[in-house]
C-alpha cells in the first residue's frame, strides 16, 4: 500500500447546537481502496460523510479540523473553490436515493446538470454522457430511462442514478453513506458489485459507511468503527472479523455461528395452512393482484419457521392472513383443531389471542396516548400490576417503564414492549413481522437474544418474517422462501442456507452477504444471477413465475404451473426439473438434509 493517503482527515469536529456529533476525527483513505466505516445509528457516520465535503445538515456547524484531499485542505478553500471540488474530486452517494433526486426534474437532466457543473459540456453533450453512464451501470434502454422522473423508477435504479451523478465527473474519492439501505437483498448485491466495479474502473477510492457488517466483510479492504462521534483506528477486514477490537463489534458478531436453541424433539403440528390465497382487486384498473398464492405452511409447537423473500413476495400478507387481520380469499388455516378461516367473528375474537403478532415499526404498533401499563393491560383479562411488572421483567424492561409513554422509549425498548404485549396474551404462536428491521444493529442483537430466551422459557412457536437473512439464520429452525406470493422452497435452516435447490432460493442466498470475510463476494466471480426484473404481480406468467428470469428454464417451465413437490429429505420444492434432479442424486443426501 502506498504511503501517501488520498484523503487525510485530522481533528474534524461537527456540532449541533452544542452537542458534538463528530468529535475530533482522524482518518486516512488510501488511493484505490474500499474503506469501511461502521457503527450504530447515531454514531455520526452520515454527519462525518457530509463534513468531508464541507457540508452539514442545518443546524449543524463544522467546528474545525482539516480534510486534506490529494494534498489540498478542502475546508481551507473559499466556498466557490470547495464547490468545484465537490462532485469532481470527491463524490457522495446517500441513502434514500429517490429522496436525493428532485421530483420535478428528469433523472437524465439531473445527471447532466452535475456533469455540466464540472465538465466543459453543453446541454446536449451532457445528456448523451448521462445516457452513456446509465448504460455503463447496466441499465437496459438507458435513453428511455434518462427521460424518466424519479417517481417512475425503482429504488435500485435511483441508486444507480446517484452513482452516475457521483462518479460522472471522475472523482478520486467516493463517499457512500448506507447506499443500499432499503434495497432488496439481490438488488443490494448487484448494486454493490457495480459500485465496486465502477470505482475500480475510475480508480476511485471508496469510503463505504454502513451498519451492515455483511457488506463490510464482503466488499471492504479495511474497516474502522465509529462510536459516539469518534473513529477508532482502521484495521484490515480479516483481522477485524477474526478479533473484533471493541465492545460494539464484539456484541454484533457474538451471534455468528451460534445456532438457535433446539426445537422440541417431538414435532407436534400447531398450525397448518393449506392453499392459503389472497387476492386484492386494484382500485381504478380493477385488475387482480395475487398477493398470496396457494401457500402451504406447517408450524410445529415451539419451533421457529423463518419466512423469507424480497419486497412484494407476499410474506407479510401471509402473516396477516394467519391472524385474519387480512381476510384470506381462499384456503384453510387449521389451528388447534379449528379452521380459522371459517370461524364466526365472536369465536374468532376468542381464539385470536392464541396467535399474536409483533410488527416492524414498534412506534407505530403502540398507541402513543397510552402508557406501557395501559398497553399491556389491554392484553390482559384484568389489569393486574403484578402481572404487568412480571411481563416487563420478562422482556428486560425496568419496572419504571410501566408509567412511560412509547414516545419516551428507545426503538429497542418499544419493540420489547410490543413483544411483552404479545406474550401477555399467552399465545401459542407469535407472528414476528420484520421485528428487527427498524432497529439499530445493537438493538437487533438484543431482540434476537430476547426472542430466543422467551421461546426457550415459554415454548411459543414463531413465524419469523424477514428479508434479513442473517437474522433469519440466527432464529429459525426451518425456513420457507417466497417468490411472488408462492413458497418456492421450504426446508431446514441448514438445507436452505447451505444448499438451496430452487433457482430463486439459490440466487437469493448467493446474494446473501454473511459477516464473514472467508468467502468474500468481491473476490469471487458472481454466480449466475437472475436476469431481468420481477414480473408484476397483477400480470403473472402462465407457467413457473420464475421462468422468464431463470437460467435453467426449459420450455415446459414456461407453460406448466409448478407444484410444491415434497422431497425425501424433508424439503418441499416448487421446481419440477430441480426436484427430478434431486431424486436422481438422492444417495448423496443424508436423512438430516446436509449435502455431503
Partner 1 sequence: MTGFVARRLATALLQLVGLALVVFFAIRLLPADPVARLVGQNASREAYLASQHALGLDRPVLTQFGAYLGALPGASGLLQGDFGTSWVTGEPVAKEIGRALPVTLELITISFVLAFILSVPLGMLCALKPGGAADNATFGYSLFAGSQPEFWWGLLFIYFFFAIMGWAPAPLGRLDPLSTAPPAVTGLITIDSLLAGNMAAFSDGLHHLMLPVLTKVFVLSGPIVKMVRQNMVRVLGSDYVLFARASGLPPGRIARMALKNALAPALTLLGVLYGYILGGAVLIETVFSLPGIGSYAVRSVLAFDYPAIQAVVLVIAAVSLFVYLALDIVHALLDPRLAS
Partner 2 sequence: MSGAALSVETAPRTARQARDPLFLLGSAIVVLSLVLMVIGPWIAPYDVGRPTDDIAVPPPDLAEVPGLLYAVITGAPHEPIHWFGTDTAGLDVFSRVIAAPRTDVAIALGANLASLVLGSLLGLLAGTARPWLGALEMRLSDLVQAFPVFITGMILVTLAGRSFTTIVLTLALLYTPIYVRLTRAEVLTQRHRGFVDAARALGKGEAFLALRHVLPNALAPALIQASVTVGFAILMTAGLSFVGAGVRPPAPEWGLMIAAGADQIIQGEWWTSVFPGLAISLTVFGYACFGNGLERRHAR
Chain residues that interact with partner 2, rule: CB under 8 A = 16-19, 21, 40-44, 57, 59, 227-229, 320, 323, 325, 349-350, 352-353, 355-357, 359, 361, 364-369, 375, 378-379, 410-413, 418, 421, 425, 440, 442-443, 446
Nearer to partner 1, 165 or 341 (CB): 165
Q: Which does 92 bind (CB under 5 to 8 A by kind): partner 1, partner 2, none?
A: partner 1
In the three-class reduction of DSSP (H, G, I as helix; E, B as strand; rest coil), residue 81 is classed as helix
Q: Which three cell numbers stand for residue 360?
A: 416492524
Nearer to partner 1, 83 or 405 (CB): 83
The β-bridge relationship of strands 572-573 and 486-492 is antiparallel
Q: Which does 103 bind (CB under 5 to 8 A by kind): partner 1, partner 2, none?
A: partner 1
Q: Least distance in Å: CB of 121 to partner 2?
A: 38
Instruction: Return d(Cα 441, Cα 251) in angstroms, integer.
Output: 10
Q: Least distance in Å: CB of 89 to partner 1?
A: 9
Distances (CA, A) of 365 to 77, 131, 316: 49, 44, 15
Q: Which stretch binds partner 1 (CB under 8 A): 37-45, 93-101, 199-207, 356-364?
A: 93-101
Q: Least distance in Å: CB of 147 to partner 1?
A: 11
DSSP state letters, 500-550: --SHHHHHHHHT---S-GGG-GGGSPPP-PPPS-PPPTTS--SS-TTTTT-
The HSE-up count of residue 419 (CA atoms within 13 Å, CB side) is 31
CB environment 284-299: b (16+ within 10 A), e (fewer): eeeeebbbbbbbbbbb
The β-bridge relationship of strands 486-492 and 478-483 is antiparallel
Nearer to partner 1, 393 or 538 (CB): 538
Q: Which does 323 bind (CB under 5 to 8 A by kind): partner 1, partner 2, none?
A: partner 2
Instruction: Return d(Cα 454, Cα 473) in angstroms, integer.
Output: 17
- The number of residues making up the chain comes to 596
Nearer to partner 1, 175 or 472 (CB): 175
Sign of the CA dihedral 297, 302, 495, 512?
A: positive
In the three-class reduction of DSSP (H, G, I as helix; E, B as strand; rest coil), residue 43 is classed as coil
Residue 459 gets which letter from DSSP?
A: -
Nearer to partner 1, 104 or 591 (CB): 104
Q: Which does 569 bind (CB under 5 to 8 A by kind): partner 2, partner 1, none?
A: none
Give all strands (DSSP E) within 138-229, no chain letters. Answer: 173-177, 205-209, 222-227
Q: Which of 283, 243, 209 is nearest to 47 (CA)?
A: 209
Q: Which does 40 bind (CB under 5 to 8 A by kind): partner 2, partner 1, none?
A: partner 2
Q: Least distance in Å: CB of 430 to partner 2?
A: 10
Q: Least distance in Å: CB of 162 to partner 1?
A: 8
x/- track of binding to partner 1 for residues 35-74 (CB under 8 A): ---------------x--x-x-xxx---------------
Nearer to partner 2, 228 or 559 (CB): 228
Q: Which does 53 bind (CB under 5 to 8 A by kind): partner 1, partner 2, none?
A: partner 1
Q: Which does 484 bind (CB under 5 to 8 A by kind): partner 1, partner 2, none?
A: none
Cβ partners under 8 Å of residue 565, min gap 6:
572, 573, 574, 575, 576, 579
Instruction: Return d(Cα 575, Cα 367) in angstroms, integer.
Output: 44
Cβ partners under 8 Å of residue 526, min gap 6:
193, 510
x/- track of binding to partner 1 for residues 143-172 (CB under 8 A): ------x-xx---------x--xx--x---
Q: Least distance in Å: CB of 418 to partner 1?
A: 29
* Residue that the C-alpha cell 440466487 belongs to: 507
Q: Which three cell numbers stand for residue 465?
A: 418474517
The HSE-up count of residue 432 (CA atoms within 13 Å, CB side) is 35
x/- track of binding to partner 1 for residues 94-123 (CB under 8 A): x-x--xxxxxxx-------xx--xx-----
**Binding test (CB under 8 A) with partner 1, winner from 85, 421, 549, 574:** 85
Nearer to partner 1, 98 or 279 (CB): 98
Q: Least distance in Å: CB of 79 to partner 1?
A: 9
Residue 233 gets which letter from DSSP?
A: P
Q: Which does 16 bind (CB under 5 to 8 A by kind): partner 1, partner 2, none?
A: partner 2
Q: Least distance in Å: CB of 55 to partner 2?
A: 15
Nearer to partner 1, 116 or 320 (CB): 116
Q: Which does 88 bind (CB under 5 to 8 A by kind): partner 1, partner 2, none?
A: partner 1
What is the dihedral angle through the alpha carbons of 427, 428, 434, 439, rounded to the nearest 10 degrees?
60
Helices (H) and strands (E) in the chain, counts: 21, 23
Q: Which does 100 bind (CB under 5 to 8 A by kind): partner 2, partner 1, none?
A: partner 1
Q: Least distance in Å: CB of 429 to partner 2?
A: 11
Positions that interact with partner 1 (CB under 8 A) = 50, 53, 55, 57-59, 83-88, 91-92, 94, 96, 99-105, 113-114, 117-118, 149, 151-152, 162, 165-166, 169
Amino acid at each position: 500500500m502506498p504511503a501517501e493517503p488520498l484523503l487525510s482527515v485530522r481533528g474534524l469536529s461537527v456540532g449541533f447546537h452544542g452537542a458534538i456529533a463528530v468529535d475530533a476525527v482522524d482518518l486516512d483513505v488510501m488511493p484505490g481502496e474500499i474503506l469501511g466505516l461502521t457503527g450504530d445509528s447515531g454514531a455520526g457516520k452520515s454527519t462525518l460523510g457530509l463534513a468531508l465535503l464541507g457540508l452539514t445538515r442545518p443546524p449543524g456547524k463544522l467546528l474545525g479540523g482539516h480534510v486534506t484531499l490529494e494534498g489540498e485542505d478542502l475546508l481551507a478553500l473559499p466556498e466557490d473553490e470547495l464547490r468545484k471540488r465537490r462532485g469532481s474530486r470527491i463524490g457522495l452517494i446517500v441513502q434514500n436515493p429517490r429522496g436525493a433526486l428532485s421530483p420535478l426534474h428528469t433523472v437524465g437532466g439531473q445527471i447532466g446538470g452535475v456533469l455540466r457543473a464540472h465538465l466543459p459540456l453543453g446541454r446536449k453533450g451532457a445528456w448523451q454522457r448521462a445516457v452513456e453512464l446509465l448504460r455503463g451501470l447496466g441499465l437496459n434502454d438507458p435513453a428511455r430511462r434518462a427521460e424518466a422522473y424519479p417517481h417512475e423508477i425503482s429504488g435500485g435504479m435511483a441508486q444507480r442514478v446517484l452513482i452516475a451523478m457521483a462518479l460522472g465527473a471522475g472523482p478520486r474519492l467516493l463517499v457512500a453513506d448506507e447506499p443500499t439501505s432499503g434495497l432488496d437483498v439481490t438488488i443490494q448485491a448487484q448494486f454493490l458489485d457495480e459500485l465496486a466495479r465502477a470505482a475500480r474502473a475510475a480508480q476511485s477510492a471508496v469510503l463505504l459507511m454502513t451498519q451492515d457488517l455483511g457488506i463490510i466483510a464482503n466488499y471492504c479492504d479495511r474497516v474502522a468503527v465509529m462510536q459516539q462521534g469518534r473513529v477508532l483506528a482502521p484495521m484490515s477486514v480479516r483481522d477485524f472479523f477474526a478479533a473484533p477490537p471493541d465492545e460494539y463489534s464484539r456484541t454484533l458478531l457474538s451471534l455468528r455461528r451460534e445456532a438457535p436453541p433446539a426445537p422440541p424433539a417431538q414435532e407436534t403440528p400447531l398450525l397448518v395452512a393449506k392453499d392459503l390465497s389472497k387476492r386484492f382487486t386494484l382500485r381504478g384498473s380493477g385488475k387482480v393482484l395475487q398477493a398470496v398464492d396457494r401457500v402451504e405452511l406447517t408450524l410445529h409447537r415451539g419451533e421457529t419457521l423463518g419466512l423469507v423473500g424480497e419486497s412484494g413476495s407476499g410474506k407479510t400478507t401471509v402473516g396477516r392472513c394467519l391472524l385474519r387481520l387480512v381476510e384470506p380469499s381462499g384456503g384453510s388455516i387449521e389451528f388447534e383443531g379449528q379452521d380459522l378461516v371459517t370461524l364466526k367473528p365472536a369465536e374468532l375474537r376468542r381464539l385470536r389471542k392464541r396467535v399474536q403478532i409483533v410488527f416492524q415499526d414498534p412506534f407505530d404498533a403502540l398507541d402513543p396516548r397510552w402508557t406501557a401499563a395501559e398497553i399491556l393491560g389491554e392484553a390482559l383479562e384484568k389489569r393486574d400490576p403484578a402481572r404487568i411488572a412480571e411481563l416487563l421483567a420478562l422482556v428486560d424492561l425496568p419496572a419504571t417503564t410501566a408509567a412511560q409513554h412509547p414516545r419516551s422509549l428507545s426503538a429497542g425498548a418499544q419493540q420489547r414492549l410490543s413483544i411483552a404485549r404479545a406474550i401477555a396474551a399467552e399465545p401459542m404462536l407469535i407472528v414476528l413481522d420484520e421485528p428487527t428491521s427498524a432497529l439499530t444493529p445493537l438493538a437487533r442483537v438484543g431482540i434476537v437474544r430476547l426472542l430466543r430466551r422467551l421461546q426457550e422459557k415459554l415454548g411459543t412457536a414463531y413465524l419469523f418474517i424477514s428479508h434479513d437473512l442473517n437474522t433469519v439464520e440466527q432464529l429459525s429452525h426451518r425456513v420457507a422462501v417466497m417468490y411472488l406470493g408462492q413458497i418456492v422452497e421450504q426446508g431446514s435452516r441448514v438445507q436452505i442456507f447451505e444448499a438451496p435447490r430452487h433457482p430463486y432460493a439459490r440466487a437469493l442466498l448467493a446474494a446473501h452477504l454473511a459477516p464473514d470475510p472467508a468467502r468474500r463476494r468481491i473476490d469471487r466471480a458472481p454466480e449466475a444471477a437472475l436476469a431481468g426484473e420481477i414480473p408484476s404481480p397483477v400480470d403473472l406468467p402462465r407457467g413457473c413465475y420464475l421462468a422468464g428470469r431463470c437460467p435453467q428454464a426449459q420450455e415446459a417451465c414456461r407453460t406448466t404451473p409448478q407444484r410444491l413437490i415434497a422431497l425425501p429429505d424433508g424439503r418441499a420444492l416448487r421446481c419440477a426439473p430441480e426436484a427430478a434432479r434431486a431424486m436422481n442424486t438422492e444417495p448423496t443426501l443424508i436423512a438430516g438434509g446436509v449435502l455431503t
